[in-house]
Structure 1
Amino acid sequence: MRVATFNVNGIRAAQRRGFQAWLAERDPDVVALQEVRCSPDKLPTGVFGEYHLTYEPGQLAGRNGVAVLTRRRPAAVRTWDGEVLMRAPGEEHTHREPSPPGTMARGLSPFASEGRYVEVDIDGTGDQPAVTIASLYLPKGGLPAHLQKPGGREEPDGGAKYERKMGFLASFARQLDRSRKAAKAAGREFLLLGDLNVAHTRQDLTNWRGNAKSEGFLPEEREWFSSITSPRTLVDVVRRVHPDADGPMSWWSWMGGAFDRDTGWRIDYHLATPSLAKRAVTAGTDRPASADARVSDHAAVVVDYADA
């Protein structure tokens, strides 16, 4: 089973840059997408090929939006906003279907309409396990007030973006625990895919010394990441396959030649339940051969999971 996660930074721009060619060449069984950033009526025709689309666009025009592409129609879908766009291959309708009501962890309601999370249940077939697959776009955040300085990359906001992200992290940890346990109770593996906007260790960004006080690599963010992963709960699959490597990086700024120098961050992840993580036989980042060939400022992270 080949599974990919890809922050496309706008599906219409990604289509122009070659998303469909990537999808056809890599031929994954499941793809989680983040920052689709497109209303249902403006999704490019045929961009998702012969996949079933589950899309939570959110209610912020031109921002966020998460999706899961699957070979077969999901057995069930859950999202925080209560509605989701579901399309079979060849369909073009724009109406959303209600997803079953679920219990949202305390503190997530301010994020419910932002198009940040959707999860689908995929039934097992043959030697492939039943699995719940989630796509997450975690808020980028900002710096705490005491680290902000006038004239920086962003104007000081008194730590508002930082506090909002930290609130999300605390609430999402509870939600993630619930989803993982619910999948286990239903006899399913659990796989969280997405852009977590946190580099966990020094191996996960090129210039870790220069970014020691940057959002995405703050000690409290890294501690949160450690709290949601363990050998008994969720495993960082790419790091399990490449325990001693730097990277592989998955995001590079468009600016300053960062891609050519491979000055990047690893912020896109597969976090899997232990038995599923053990099935990973290959794992890595689809880093393009040149900056001109980039589909997005992110690269897809692709893992092949062996059948039982």
Structure 2
Amino acid sequence: MRQNARVLRIASLNVNGIRAAVRRGFDDWLSDRDPDIVGLQEMRCPVDQLPVLAGYHLSYHPGELAGRNGVAVLTRRPPIAVRHGFGNRRFDAEGRYLEVDCEPADGHPGLTIGSLYLPKGDRPTDGPAAEAKHRRKLSFMASLRGYLTRARKRAQSEGREFVIMGDFNIAHTALDLRNWRSNRKNSGFLPDERDWFASILGPRTLHDVVRRLHGEEPGPYSWWTWRGQAFDQNTGWRIDYQLATPELASTATTGGTDREPSYQARMSDHSQVVVDYNL
């Protein structure tokens, strides 16, 4: 539990099914860590079966693909505006992006918050179907890049900071995955994906908050396959991020992943990305 009310704690987690995550202890984590805002991805839950998460207002974009995707944002108070998708008809129906506006409260600034679940893609050299899946991912990314510029500028013009968080399914640099050499031709670490990620960052646009805090050290990883000894050996990928506007990013004091103490304690194949902003 936090003692300093000026700290804004923002968290993000790909839950890999919200009902399964709740069974595995999500409620306990939420109570213990007490975040002000939480972005959730891969909810995979019909609206009428959403669990009650006490103390939070849930904004939800389930999409139209039964049992897949779905993004949400938890806030202490109802947001003043909610937007489903980013204006791309091809992708908005899939439940991959949700954005909310929150007014200033309790010493915290006004915020625009995006929760993102970016498509996985595939290795394009593995045949026509894989190449098509990769091109589809690139199309999503190109459309999102333009939208992020508009969203950030809109938030700024209305007096709010902007943060987008979630599962980007891209490791930006060699610091962001354990076995980067053997993954150079695999989806999630391909040159065009990494170039795109670099293109949405900049001194005056968006900062990778956790990388800013951890500098040139590997990780902290946020995803490990369920298979084998990947989790126990920390053979992971950092594909979950918080990207914030410069003023907000500059206030971040601590941040990283809440990696569970054991394989058995995992709620998801991802771990929570949590950042404290000292305002």
Please say whether Structure 1 and Structure 2 have the same fold, judged by a TM-score greater than 0.5. yes
Counterpart residue number, 2:107: 127
- TM superposition shift of 1:115: 0.4
- Given candidates 110, 126, 131, the residue that maps to 1:148 is 126
Runs of at least 4 residues of structure 1 off by over 4 A?
none
Deviations 1:83-103 (CA, angstroms, capped at 9, x unpaired): xxxxxxxxxxxxxxxxxxxx7
Matched-pair identity in %: 59
- TM superposition shift of 1:42: 1.5
Change (3 A) 1:158 1:26: closer
- Given candidates 160, 182, 191, the residue that maps to 2:132 is 160
Counterpart residue number, 1:30: 37
- TM superposition shift of 1:250: 0.1
- TM superposition shift of 1:240: 0.4
Matched, 1:64 2:44: no
Matched, 1:185 2:190: no
**Conserved 8 A contact 2:122-2:130:** no
Matched, 1:213 2:220: no
Q: Please state whether the residue corresponding to 1:261 is helix, strand or coil.
A: coil
**TM alignment of 1:194-209, pairs within 5 A:** 194-209=166-181
Counterpart residue number, 1:305: 277
Matched, 1:279 2:257: no
Amino acid paired to 2:79: P
Amino acid paired to 1:212: R
Counterpart residue number, 2:56: 51
Q: Which runs of 5+ in 2 are unaligned?
A: 1-7
State which structure, 1 or 2, has the greater radius of gyration over its C-alpha atoms.
1
- TM superposition shift of 1:275: 0.2
Distance in 2 of aligned mates of 1:238 and 1:24: 23
Counterpart residue number, 1:98: none
Counterpart residue number, 1:90: none
- Given candidates 36, 44, 47, the residue that maps to 1:40 is 47
Q: Please state whether the residue corresponding to 1:157 is helix, strand or coil.
A: helix
Distance in 1 of aligned mates of 2:102 and 2:194: 31
Counterpart residue number, 2:96: 116
- Given candidates 219, 223, 237, the residue that maps to 1:247 is 219
Amino acid paired to 2:99: E
Distance in 2 of aligned mates of 1:119 and 1:72: 15
- TM superposition shift of 1:126: 4.3
**Conserved 8 A contact 2:219-2:238:** yes
Q: What is the number of residues matched between the two proteins?
A: 272
TM-score, normalised to structure 1, is 0.87
Deviations 1:39-75 (CA, angstroms, capped at 9, x unpaired): 011223x2x1110010000010000000000001101
Amino acid paired to 2:104: G
Amino acid paired to 1:56: H
Amino acid paired to 2:102: I
Distance in 1 of aligned mates of 2:240 and 2:136: 20
Distance in 1 of aligned mates of 2:77 and 2:107: 16
Amino acid paired to 2:9: R
Q: Which runs of 5+ in 1 are unaligned?
A: 81-102, 150-155
Counterpart residue number, 2:5: none
- TM superposition shift of 1:305: 0.5
Distance in 1 of aligned mates of 2:162 and 2:58: 19
Counterpart residue number, 2:26: 19
Amino acid paired to 1:67: A
Distance in 2 of aligned mates of 1:229 and 1:297: 26
Q: Please state whether the residue corresponding to 2:48 is helix, strand or coil.
A: helix
- TM superposition shift of 1:256: 1.2
**Conserved 8 A contact 2:56-2:75:** yes
Amino acid paired to 2:55: E
Counterpart residue number, 1:265: 237
Question: RMSD in angstroms over aligned alpha carbons?
Answer: 1.1
Distance in 2 of aligned mates of 1:4 and 1:120: 15
Counterpart residue number, 1:290: 262
Distance in 1 of aligned mates of 2:54 and 2:239: 27
- TM superposition shift of 1:127: 2.7
Amino acid paired to 2:126: Q
